[in-house]
Amino acid sequence: MERTYVMVKPDGVQRQLVGEIISRFERKGLKIAGLKLMQIPRSLAEEHYGEHKGKSFFAPLVDYITSGPVVAMVLEGKDAVSTAREMMGATNPLQAAPGTIRGTYGMDIGRNVIHGSDSPASAEREINLFFRPEELVSYDRSLDRWIYE
């Protein structure tokens, strides 16, 4: 099974969408392997968004992601990265398909409610940034036989 990193951003937490978002992933069949509410320190935000350093939106992005609590989670399942990305929808909520998380709750690209890893490699990197190995749980779920062949 594959793991991915997903974060409900400060706007999603402030809008009280955490439960709804987690519920969507669980109903789809993804399993929670790690979950925590946290305030991201500036140093971690800068490392997380390091690929954007030097770009005009880097500082505002870091300011925003550190402006309030986030919910960090690790989801596990078959093709977890692509499944979560599909469920989130396009980065720009105005281009996100109706019914996706961003299509349903987002109005502005700068306040698009959720972040998710875009590849298995970035998932591994982001999981390691936000979670220690002992914070992640592997477990058998009897329901899996009804989700996967």
Q: What residues are designated binding site for ATP?
A: 9, 57, 85, 91, 102, 112
Annotated binding residues, written as ranges, equal 9, 57, 85, 91, 102, 112
Count the Cβ atoms, other than its own, within 10 Å of residue 141. 12
For residue 112, give both structure tokens.
């698009």
Neighbours of 63 (CB within 10 A): 11
48 tagged catalytic: no
From residue 97, give the alpha-carbon distance in Å to each of 23, 91, 109. Answer: 19, 11, 14
Picking from 78, 51, 73, 71, the residue whose alpha carbon sits closest to that of residue 62 is 51
Nearest to 34, CA basis, from 70, 67, 63, 6 = 6
52: tokens are 């954007």
Catalytic residue among 115, 117, 127, 130: 115
Residues annotated catalytic, as ranges: 115
